[in-house]
Amino acid sequence: MFGAQALLTSKGWQTVTTVRVKLGAFAAEVLARKLGNGEPPGSEDFERVIQFYLGERGTRPPGWAYPDLLRERRVSDEVELDLNVEDSLWISLEAEAREQDVAVDRLLEHATLYFAAEIDAGRATERILGEIEKEEEPEGA
Protein backbone atom coordinates (compact mmCIF):
# COMPACT_ATOMS: atom_id res chain seq x y z
CA MET A 1 0.00 0.00 0.00
CA PHE A 2 1.35 3.41 -0.94
CA GLY A 3 -0.91 5.50 1.28
CA ALA A 4 -3.91 7.79 1.23
CA GLN A 5 -4.12 11.05 -0.64
CA ALA A 6 -6.75 13.47 -1.89
CA LEU A 7 -7.45 13.06 -5.60
CA LEU A 8 -9.94 14.62 -7.98
CA THR A 9 -12.01 11.71 -9.31
CA SER A 10 -15.13 11.47 -11.44
CA LYS A 11 -17.02 11.77 -8.14
CA GLY A 12 -15.20 14.95 -7.06
CA TRP A 13 -12.43 15.25 -4.48
CA GLN A 14 -11.98 12.03 -2.54
CA THR A 15 -9.48 10.52 -0.18
CA VAL A 16 -8.10 7.53 -2.01
CA THR A 17 -5.63 4.85 -1.10
CA THR A 18 -3.09 3.89 -3.71
CA VAL A 19 -2.42 0.16 -3.55
CA ARG A 20 -0.44 -2.34 -5.56
CA VAL A 21 -2.29 -5.62 -5.88
CA LYS A 22 -1.44 -8.91 -7.54
CA LEU A 23 -4.32 -10.74 -9.15
CA GLY A 24 -4.52 -13.83 -11.26
CA ALA A 25 -4.38 -12.83 -14.91
CA PHE A 26 -7.58 -14.82 -15.48
CA ALA A 27 -9.59 -12.59 -13.10
CA ALA A 28 -8.35 -9.38 -14.73
CA GLU A 29 -9.06 -10.78 -18.19
CA VAL A 30 -12.56 -11.92 -17.22
CA LEU A 31 -13.38 -8.49 -15.79
CA ALA A 32 -12.15 -6.75 -18.94
CA ARG A 33 -14.34 -9.04 -21.08
CA LYS A 34 -17.39 -8.58 -18.87
CA LEU A 35 -17.07 -4.80 -18.92
CA GLY A 36 -16.91 -5.04 -22.69
CA ASN A 37 -14.64 -2.08 -23.35
CA GLY A 38 -11.59 -4.11 -24.37
CA GLU A 39 -9.35 -2.11 -22.06
CA PRO A 40 -7.55 -3.52 -19.02
CA PRO A 41 -9.65 -2.87 -15.91
CA GLY A 42 -8.71 0.23 -13.95
CA SER A 43 -9.27 1.71 -10.52
CA GLU A 44 -12.92 2.67 -11.10
CA ASP A 45 -13.69 -0.83 -12.38
CA PHE A 46 -12.24 -2.40 -9.26
CA GLU A 47 -14.09 0.10 -7.05
CA ARG A 48 -17.32 -1.14 -8.66
CA VAL A 49 -16.25 -4.73 -7.95
CA ILE A 50 -15.49 -3.95 -4.31
CA GLN A 51 -18.71 -1.98 -3.81
CA PHE A 52 -20.78 -4.77 -5.31
CA TYR A 53 -19.01 -7.51 -3.35
CA LEU A 54 -19.24 -5.71 -0.01
CA GLY A 55 -22.85 -4.79 -0.76
CA GLU A 56 -23.66 -8.51 -0.84
CA ARG A 57 -22.16 -9.03 2.62
CA GLY A 58 -25.51 -8.79 4.40
CA THR A 59 -27.10 -11.66 2.50
CA ARG A 60 -23.98 -13.79 1.88
CA PRO A 61 -25.42 -15.64 -1.14
CA PRO A 62 -23.85 -18.90 -2.33
CA GLY A 63 -20.37 -18.34 -3.72
CA TRP A 64 -19.90 -15.04 -1.89
CA ALA A 65 -17.39 -16.09 0.79
CA TYR A 66 -13.83 -16.96 -0.17
CA PRO A 67 -13.86 -20.72 -0.88
CA ASP A 68 -11.86 -22.96 1.44
CA LEU A 69 -10.61 -25.04 -1.48
CA LEU A 70 -8.71 -22.00 -2.84
CA ARG A 71 -6.84 -21.20 0.37
CA GLU A 72 -3.81 -23.35 -0.50
CA ARG A 73 -3.85 -22.50 -4.21
CA ARG A 74 -0.84 -20.93 -5.82
CA VAL A 75 -1.46 -18.30 -8.47
CA SER A 76 0.71 -18.97 -11.49
CA ASP A 77 0.00 -16.07 -13.85
CA GLU A 78 -0.30 -12.85 -11.93
CA VAL A 79 -0.75 -9.28 -13.05
CA GLU A 80 0.36 -6.44 -10.83
CA LEU A 81 -1.91 -3.40 -10.76
CA ASP A 82 -1.60 -0.03 -9.06
CA LEU A 83 -5.08 1.09 -8.08
CA ASN A 84 -6.50 4.25 -6.55
CA VAL A 85 -9.41 3.11 -4.38
CA GLU A 86 -11.65 5.24 -2.19
CA ASP A 87 -10.00 5.06 1.23
CA SER A 88 -13.03 3.88 3.21
CA LEU A 89 -13.82 1.26 0.56
CA TRP A 90 -10.31 -0.19 0.71
CA ILE A 91 -10.39 -0.23 4.52
CA SER A 92 -13.68 -2.14 4.36
CA LEU A 93 -12.20 -4.68 1.94
CA GLU A 94 -9.17 -5.15 4.19
CA ALA A 95 -11.46 -5.70 7.18
CA GLU A 96 -13.49 -8.27 5.25
CA ALA A 97 -10.29 -10.04 4.20
CA ARG A 98 -9.27 -10.26 7.87
CA GLU A 99 -12.76 -11.53 8.77
CA GLN A 100 -12.48 -14.27 6.13
CA ASP A 101 -8.83 -14.93 7.03
CA VAL A 102 -7.52 -14.42 3.50
CA ALA A 103 -5.05 -12.01 1.89
CA VAL A 104 -6.72 -8.88 0.53
CA ASP A 105 -5.32 -9.57 -2.98
CA ARG A 106 -6.90 -13.02 -2.98
CA LEU A 107 -10.23 -11.62 -1.76
CA LEU A 108 -10.17 -8.93 -4.46
CA GLU A 109 -9.52 -11.61 -7.06
CA HIS A 110 -12.43 -13.68 -5.72
CA ALA A 111 -14.65 -10.57 -5.62
CA THR A 112 -13.75 -9.89 -9.25
CA LEU A 113 -14.81 -13.37 -10.36
CA TYR A 114 -17.93 -13.17 -8.18
CA PHE A 115 -18.83 -9.83 -9.80
CA ALA A 116 -18.30 -11.28 -13.28
CA ALA A 117 -20.55 -14.24 -12.48
CA GLU A 118 -23.24 -11.90 -11.19
CA ILE A 119 -23.04 -9.87 -14.40
CA ASP A 120 -23.85 -13.10 -16.23
CA ALA A 121 -26.76 -13.66 -13.87
CA GLY A 122 -28.01 -10.08 -14.40
CA ARG A 123 -27.97 -9.14 -10.72
CA ALA A 124 -24.98 -6.80 -10.96
CA THR A 125 -26.57 -4.88 -13.81
CA GLU A 126 -29.76 -4.35 -11.79
CA ARG A 127 -27.83 -3.03 -8.79
CA ILE A 128 -25.52 -0.81 -10.86
CA LEU A 129 -28.45 0.72 -12.75
CA GLY A 130 -30.26 1.30 -9.46
CA GLU A 131 -27.21 3.09 -8.03
CA ILE A 132 -26.88 5.26 -11.16
CA GLU A 133 -30.56 6.23 -10.92
CA LYS A 134 -30.04 7.24 -7.27
CA GLU A 135 -27.03 9.38 -8.21
CA GLU A 136 -28.98 11.11 -10.98
CA GLU A 137 -32.03 11.96 -8.85
CA PRO A 138 -32.16 15.65 -7.99
CA GLU A 139 -31.66 16.46 -4.33
CA GLY A 140 -34.86 16.63 -2.35
CA ALA A 141 -36.71 14.39 -4.82
Confidence of residue 31 (pLDDT cuts 50, 70, 90): confident
End-to-end CA distance of the chain: 40
pLDDT top residue among 130 and 95: 95
Structure confidence by residue, pLDDT tens digits, 79-125: 898 998 999 999 999 999 999 999 999 999 999 999 988 887 776 55
Q: What is the mean pLDDT of residues 28-37?
A: 82
pLDDT top residue among 18 and 39: 18
For 26, residues 6+ apart whose C-beta sits below 8 A from its C-beta are 77
Structure confidence by residue, pLDDT tens digits, 58-84: 888 888 899 888 887 776 788 898 998
Which pTM was predicted?
0.75
Q: Is 24 left (phi over 0), alpha (psi -120 to 50) or beta?
A: beta
Compute the C-alpha angle 85/119/17, nearest 5°: 5
